[in-house]
């Protein structure tokens, strides 16, 4: 019969194995932005360049009817998936870093989760995919007019980098900034990774606020966004490696 000490030991070992499995799952999720970038490049090579957001509702419906993959790419569906996969990464970092600042770690977890939920709720990609399928099969002008109205409403809600639509971008970015700050001095992650995260997400945060609130700033700040995006991707990969080695 198993003694109390043995049971506690076995239970602790099971907990550690479960923790290691979750950390490795989170590490795999951390690679998602890189996978999304590869998908974007591959889709562009196969289907052509992604459409711009300035298209009208009729153009988007016709695009989704003709090429659903290109339509999903144009409305940032890969980014929506990576946002969803960012939740396990945020949770793993919360578990690992909460001892260094419980309040900040919890705030980062909440901000990241709420921001991801808002991003997914705001995304028009899947609803437009459904409307595109119905548009392809529409036979009357009344049907097309109704679908066009629904598409216009979806695209208006999906507007990026506006004061009303910036929260789904600002909250996750603020979450990563807080977690990168908590990494400072952590033996598991190191000062270098913390600085890389703070610099990269700081640039992305600057771009998001500037593009959302300052008219005409989007094109000026695109290089800032590119540098921050590449840095944040490197941060994700290095964070994934650190998580994979834990426990």
- pLDDT of residue 174 exceeding 50, the answer is yes
Percent of the chain with pLDDT over 90: 50
Where b means 16+ CB within 10 Å and e means fewer, 53-77 reads eebebeebbbbbbebbebbbbbbbb
Residue 28: count other Cβ atoms within 10 Å of its Cβ: 16
To 5 degrees, how large is the angle CA 125–CA 87–CA 12? 150
pLDDT-derived band of residue 155, with 50, 70 and 90 as boundaries?
confident
Residue 182: count other Cβ atoms within 10 Å of its Cβ: 23
- For residues 49 and 85, is the Cβ–Cβ distance under 8 A? no
The whole-chain average pLDDT of the chain stands at 85
- For residues 72 and 79, is the Cβ–Cβ distance under 8 A? no
Mean pLDDT of 224-234: 92
- pLDDT of residue 1 exceeding 50, the answer is no
Tens digits of per-residue pLDDT, 93-121? Answer: 999 999 999 999 999 999 999 999 999 88
Q: Whole-prediction pTM value?
A: 0.82
pLDDT-derived band of residue 33, with 50, 70 and 90 as boundaries?
confident
pLDDT score at 50: 53
């Amino acid at each position: 019969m198993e003694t109390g000490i043995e049971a506690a030991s076995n239970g602790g070992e099971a907990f550690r194995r479960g923790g290691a499995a979750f950390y490795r799952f989170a590490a795999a999720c951390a690679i998602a932005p890189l996978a999304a970038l590869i998908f974007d490049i591959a889709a562009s090579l196969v289907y052509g360049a992604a459409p711009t957001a300035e298209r009208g509702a009729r153009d988007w419906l016709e695009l989704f009817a003709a090429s659903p993959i290109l339509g999903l790419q144009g409305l940032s569906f890969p980014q929506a998936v990576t946002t969803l996969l960012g939740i396990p990464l945020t949770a793993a970092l919360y578990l690992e870093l909460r001892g260094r600042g419980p309040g900040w770690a919890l705030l980062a977890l909440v901000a990241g989760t709420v921001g991801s939920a808002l991003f997914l709720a705001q995304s028009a990609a899947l609803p437009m995919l459904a409307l595109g399928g119905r548009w392809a099969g529409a036979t009357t002008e009344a049907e097309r007019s109704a679908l066009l109205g629904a598409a216009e409403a979806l695209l208006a809600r999906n507007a990026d980098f506006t004061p009303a639509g910036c929260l789904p971008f600002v909250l996750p970015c603020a979450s990563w900034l807080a977690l990168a700050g908590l990494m400072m001095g952590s033996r598991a992650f190191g000062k270098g990774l913390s600085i890389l995260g703070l610099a990269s997400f700081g640039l992305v945060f600057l771009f998001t606020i500037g593009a959302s609130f300052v008219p005409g700033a989007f094109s000026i700040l695109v290089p800032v966004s590119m540098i921050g995006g590449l840095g944040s991707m490197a941060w994700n990969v290095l964070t994934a490696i650190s998580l994979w080695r834990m426990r």
